[in-house]
Amino acid sequence: DDLRSATLISLLAYAGPRPESEALPLRWAAIRRRTILFQATKRGAPSERATRLLAPLAEDLRTWRATCGQPPDAAPVIPNAHGDHWSGSDWDNWRARTFRAAAAAAGLRAGKADGALRVRPRDLRSSFATLLIYEGQPPPYVAEQLGHSPATLMRDYARVWGDFDPSQRVSAEAQIDQVRSQIHR
């Protein structure tokens, strides 16, 4: 029942931004027809990357923008609960209350006692990486989409490639649609 949080989770899982440095500062002007332009600072230098905008995420963003009354391009895509930019405490509160509850409802480890095994919003970047890997995208493309070097990508996702069967490729959009249809039943 919280469209703002659902849209933020969709953005994190289906575009793979780093939550605090790329998703929360994102403005509507960065949402393009086929890509999202993420801007961040890497090792002290500004960097940007254009990430593919998957159709289910594009629809989620259109719905969210309409619900918000078509905010201007300079407005944040995901404002805090008061319509402003997120503060550190806004993020901490959302992560502890809303995200943790959503993760627990989805059957993921989300309690305080789960320690290092507890799921975090940043972990949703892996969803986007896995969608691209199971689509059969080559490592340099997946690395570019996540803002990684190919070496970092292979270090972090080698196990996913090991599980991937190239004869079982499926588009990211089809995967998302299939899971969403199962949830809505």
DSSP readout, 113-148? GGGGGS--GGGGHHHHHHHHHHTT--HHHHHHHHT-
Specify the pTM. 0.91
Q: Nearest 5 degrees, angle CA 169-CA 18-CA 92?
A: 130
DSSP state of 180: H
HSE-up of 104 (CA within 13 Å, CB side)? 12
The string of pLDDT tens digits covering residues 139-163 is 999 999 999 888 989 998 888 888 8
Mean pLDDT of the 67-91 span:
94
Phi then psi dihedrals of residue 89, to 5 deg: -70, -35
